Amino acid sequence: MGIFVVAISLTTPLTEEVVRELRAGDEVTITGIVWGLRDATLIHWHDKGNEFPADLSNGVLLHTQPNVKRVGERWEPTCVGTTTSQRMDRFTRPLLERLGVRAILGKGGMSGESAAAMAEHGCVYLAVVGGAAAVETLQIEEIEAVYWEHLMPECLWRFRVRQLAPLFVAIDTHGKNLHEEVQARARENVARLTAGT
């Protein structure tokens, strides 16, 4: 059924070379370490003078605030999904400049300014299927560490993932931004549909 597309398997840590080879529209999977964070985590990072309590350099970030369950000393994932990335746009450039982040996973797309920073520093934006968190949760092998627990559930999460998929390259390092292109076309279509009214 449909067209069979072979996804590109990526394993962390990602290098700048690998990331720069990816093209918007490519389908990829990720295996390895992914850092979960979002609004409150990044606001806290900013307030703390841009210091994380762990080493995120060359890392892969996921915009999330998970549902977890405490089991003994550990946190187990019950539902880990993806949140709308646009709210985190303002942090893209500082994250890339300071940490050389190689991939940001989220949903809904990121701004032209984020895309420019990504092209400059060698980072891609990977679109997760938003709302399908149940699928994503089963691809998380373990929550390896949690930092800033006082921000629960918007802590800094270190996930070990296996074949996180499907992921689509939505911003590449060559100036393509799929969400922005789709939105620009949608606005043209609105103009066409409402012309003369």
Partner 1 sequence: MIESVDEEFYGVLEDAAREAYVMSLKDIPPDVRVALKAAVENESEPRAAQIMRTMLEAVELGDRGMMVCQDTGIPIYWLRIGTGAYVDGGRLRDVIEKGVRRATLETPFRSSIVHPTQRLNRQDSTGEGVPLLHFDFAAGADYLEFLMMPKGSGSENWSFLKMLLPADGEPGIRKFILDSVAAAAGKACPPLVVGVGLGGTSDQCVALAKEATSRPIGQRHPDPKVAAFEVDMVRQINQLGIGPQGLGGDTTALDVHIERAWTHNSMNPVAVNMQCWRGERRSARIHYSDHRIEWGYSW
Closest separation between CB of residue 137 and partner 1, Å?
A: 7
Interaction residues for partner 1, span 79-98 (CB under 8 A): 79-84, 86-87
| CA 64 – CA 35 distance, rounded (Å) | 9
CA angle 180, 63, 188 (to 5 degrees): 15
List the x/- string, 51-80, binding to partner 1 by CB under 8 A: -------------xxxxxx--------xxx
Q: Within 10 A of 161 (CB to CB), how many other CB atoms are there?
A: 22
Neighbours of 168 (CB within 10 A): 17
First CA to last CA distance, the chain: 42
Q: 91 or 121: whose CB is closer to partner 1?
A: 91
Residue appearing with tokens 């646009």: 86
Binding to partner 1 by residue 135, rule CB under 8 A? yes
Binding-site ranges for partner 1 (CB under 8 A) = 2-3, 5, 25, 40, 64-69, 78-84, 86-87, 107-109, 127, 129-135, 137-138, 152-153, 166, 168, 170, 178-179, 182-183, 185-187, 189-190, 193-194, 197
